[in-house]
């Protein structure tokens, strides 16, 4: 093989190594970016009741081809249903609270002191998330 052929093959080898290294850097950078960025979730938390209602109304209007009068009546029906759901929820809240307190007491009964402290923090965090969510209603 001539010296030019050796130089050329050496150049090709170096070029392939550089391309391999560059592609590794690109793939690693992309992987790191995908790992560190927050993904968009279709269900990041829950949909607020108002947002759910807007989507429901839009779907009903478009798929059923509702007239303006029907849209108004549907809105009235949804308002009445929401009031009834809240009434039932308020009526049964003491029962739900009693069940929750019973569960908390049972869980605390199986935990040691360190775990109980962490469990209390978990409950406080969940309560704060619940309050933040219910403000969106």
Quick one: 30 and 52 in the same domain? Answer: no
Quick one: 128 and 64 in the same domain? Answer: yes
Q: Is the pLDDT of residue 1 over 60?
A: no
Q: Is residue 24 part of a domain?
A: yes
Instruction: List pLDDT tens digits, range 90-114.
Output: 999 999 999 999 999 999 999 999 9
Q: Which domain holds residue 82?
A: 48-137
- Quote the pLDDT of residue 29: 86
- The more confident residue out of 137 and 115 is 115
Whether the full predicted model's pTM is greater than 0.85, yes or no, is no
Quick one: 82 and 116 in the same domain? Answer: yes
Give CA–CA dist 116/95, Å, rounded.
24
């Amino acid at each position: 093989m001539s010296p030019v052929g050796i130089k050329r093959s050496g150049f090709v080898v170096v070029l392939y190594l550089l391309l391999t290294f560059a592609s590794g850097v690109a793939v690693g950078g992309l992987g790191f970016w995908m790992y560190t960025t927050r993904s968009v979730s279709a269900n990041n938390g829950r949909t607020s009741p108002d947002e759910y209602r807007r989507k429901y109304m839009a779907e009903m209007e478009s798929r059923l081809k509702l007239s303006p009068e029907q849209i108004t009546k549907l809105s009235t029906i949804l308002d009445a249903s929401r009031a009834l759901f809240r009434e039932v929820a308020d009526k049964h809240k003491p029962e739900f609270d009693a069940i929750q307190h019973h569960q908390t007491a049972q869980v605390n009964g199986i935990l040691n002191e360190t775990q109980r402290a962490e469990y209390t923090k978990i409950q406080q965090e969940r309560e704060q998330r619940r309050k933040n969510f219910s403000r969106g209603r």
